[in-house]
Amino acid sequence: MFRRPGDRLLEATSITKAFAGVQALKGVDFAIHAGEVHALVGENGAGKSTLVKIITGALAADSGILKVDGQPVPNNNPSIARSLGIAAIYQQPSLFPHMSVAENIALSLESGGAWRKVDWKARRERAAELLERAGAPDQLTNDPDRLVASLSMPEQQIVEIAKAVGAQARILIMDEPTASLTSLEVERLFQVIEALRAQCVGIIYISHRLDEIFAIADRITVLRDGEAVGTFRKDDVDSTRLMHLMVGRELSAVYPKRTTPLGDVVLEVGGIRVRSGEIVGLAGLVGSGRTELAETIFGLATTDSVEILLRGKPVRISSPQQAIELGIAYVPEDRRQHGVVLELPVAENISLASLGKISRNGLIDGVAEHELAQRYIGRLRIKALNADAEAATLSGGNQQKVALARWLANSPSVLILDEPTQGVDVGSKAEIHQLMADLAERGMAILMISSELPEILGMSDRIAVMHAGVIRGTLTREEATPQKILALALGGA
Question: Which amino acid does the sequence have at 293?
Answer: L
Rg (CA), the chain: 23
| Lowest-confidence segment of 183-187, 228-232, 314-318, 454-458 by average pLDDT | 183-187
The model's pLDDT over 183-232, given as tens digits with 9 standing for 90+, comes to 777 887 888 899 889 989 999 999 878 888 999 999 999 998 899 999 99
| CB-CB contact of 363 with 378 (8 Å) | no
Q: For position 334, what pLDDT does the model report?
A: 67
SS (H, E, C) the chain: CCCCCCCEEEEEEEEEEEECCEEEEEEEEEEEECCCEEEEECCCCCCHHHHHHHHHCCCCCCEEEEEECCEECCCCCHHHHHHCCEEEECCCCCCCCCCEHHHHHHHHHCCCCCCCCCCHHHHHHHHHHHHHHCCCCHHHHCCCCCEHHHCCHHHHHHHHHHHHHHCCCCEEEEECCCCCCCHHHHHHHHHHHHHHHHCCCEEEEECCCHHHHHHHCCEEEEEECCEEEEEEEHHHCCHHHHHHHHHCCCCCCCCCCCCCCCCCEEEEECCEEEECCCEEEEECCCCCCHHHHHHHHCCCCCCCCCCEEECCEEECCCCHHHHHHCCEEEECCCHHHHHCCCCCEHHHHHHHHHHHHHEECCEECHHHHHHHHHHHHHHCCCCCCCCCCEHHHCCHHHHHHHHHHHHHCCCCCEEEEECCCCCCCHHHHHHHHHHHHHHHHCCCEEEEECCCHHHHHHHCCEEEEEECCEEEEEEECCCCCHHHHHHHHCCCC
- Quote the CA–CA distance of 342 and 345 in Å, as a whole number: 8
The Cα-based distances of 355 to 138, 362, 450 in angstroms read 46, 9, 30
- Quote the CA–CA distance of 49 and 407 in Å, as a whole number: 29
pLDDT band at 493 (very low <50, low <70, confident <90, very high): low
- Quote the CA–CA distance of 202 and 417 in Å, as a whole number: 36
Q: Could you tell me which of 452, 474, 453, 472 has the C-alpha nearest to residue 463?
A: 474
Q: For position 203, what pLDDT does the model report?
A: 96
How many other CB atoms are there within 10 angstroms of residue 135's CB atom? 20
| Burial of 198 from C-beta contacts in 10 A (0-12 / 13-18 / 19+) | exposed
Question: Which amino acid does the sequence have at 151?
Answer: L
Q: For position 133, what pLDDT does the model report?
A: 83
Q: For position 491, what pLDDT does the model report?
A: 82
Sequence-distant (≥ 6) Cβ neighbours of residue 69 within 8 angstroms:
1, 8, 9, 84
pLDDT band at 8 (very low <50, low <70, confident <90, very high): very high
Domain boundaries, the chain: 8-247, 265-489
pLDDT band at 113 (very low <50, low <70, confident <90, very high): low
- Quote the CA–CA distance of 371 and 389 in Å, as a whole number: 15
- Taking 70 as the threshold, does the pLDDT of residue 1 lie above it? no
What's domain 8-247's architecture?
Answer: 3-Layer(aba) Sandwich (3.40)
| CB-CB contact of 469 with 288 (8 Å) | yes
The model's pLDDT over 149-163, given as tens digits with 9 standing for 90+, comes to 988 777 888 888 888
Q: For position 352, what pLDDT does the model report?
A: 85
Range 42-63 average pLDDT: 89
pLDDT band at 381 (very low <50, low <70, confident <90, very high): confident
pLDDT band at 29 (very low <50, low <70, confident <90, very high): very high
Q: For position 49, what pLDDT does the model report?
A: 87
Task: Name the phi and psi angles at 279, rounded to 5.
Answer: -110, 115
- Quote the CA–CA distance of 154 and 422 in Å, as a whole number: 12
CATH number for 265-489 (one of 3.40.50.300, 3.40.190.10, 3.40.50.720, 3.30.70.2740): it is 3.40.50.300
Q: For position 3, what pLDDT does the model report?
A: 65
| Lowest-confidence segment of 47-51, 159-163, 331-335 by average pLDDT | 331-335
Pairing state between β 171-175 and 202-206:
parallel
| CB-CB contact of 444 with 410 (8 Å) | no
The Cα-based distances of 24 to 17, 81, 246, 250 in angstroms read 6, 21, 15, 23
Q: For position 114, what pLDDT does the model report?
A: 57
Range 467-475 average pLDDT: 92
Q: Could you tell me which of 450, 443, 473, 447 has the C-alpha nearest to residue 461?
A: 447
88 forms beta bridges with 173
pLDDT band at 250 (very low <50, low <70, confident <90, very high): low
pLDDT above 90: percentage of residues in the chain: 43
| CB-CB contact of 276 with 266 (8 Å) | yes
Range 155-172 average pLDDT: 86
Q: For position 328, what pLDDT does the model report?
A: 95
The model's pLDDT over 347-379, given as tens digits with 9 standing for 90+, comes to 998 888 788 888 887 888 888 889 888 988 888
- Average pLDDT of the chain is 87
Q: For position 336, what pLDDT does the model report?
A: 62
- Fold equal for 8-247 and 265-489: yes
- Taking 90 as the threshold, does the pLDDT of residue 51 lie above it? yes
CA dihedral over 162, 164, 170, 172, signed as positive or negative? negative
- Taking 70 as the threshold, does the pLDDT of residue 259 lie above it? yes
| CB-CB contact of 417 with 375 (8 Å) | no
Range 433-452 average pLDDT: 92
| CB-CB contact of 228 with 24 (8 Å) | no
The model's pLDDT over 77-105, given as tens digits with 9 standing for 90+, comes to 999 998 999 999 887 778 899 999 999 99
| CB-CB contact of 3 with 171 (8 Å) | no
For residues 167-190, one letter each, b for 16 or more C-beta atoms within 10 angstroms of the residue's C-beta and e for the rest, the string is bebbbbbbbbbbbbbbbebbebbb
- Taking 80 as the threshold, does the pLDDT of residue 305 lie above it? no
Q: For position 266, what pLDDT does the model report?
A: 96
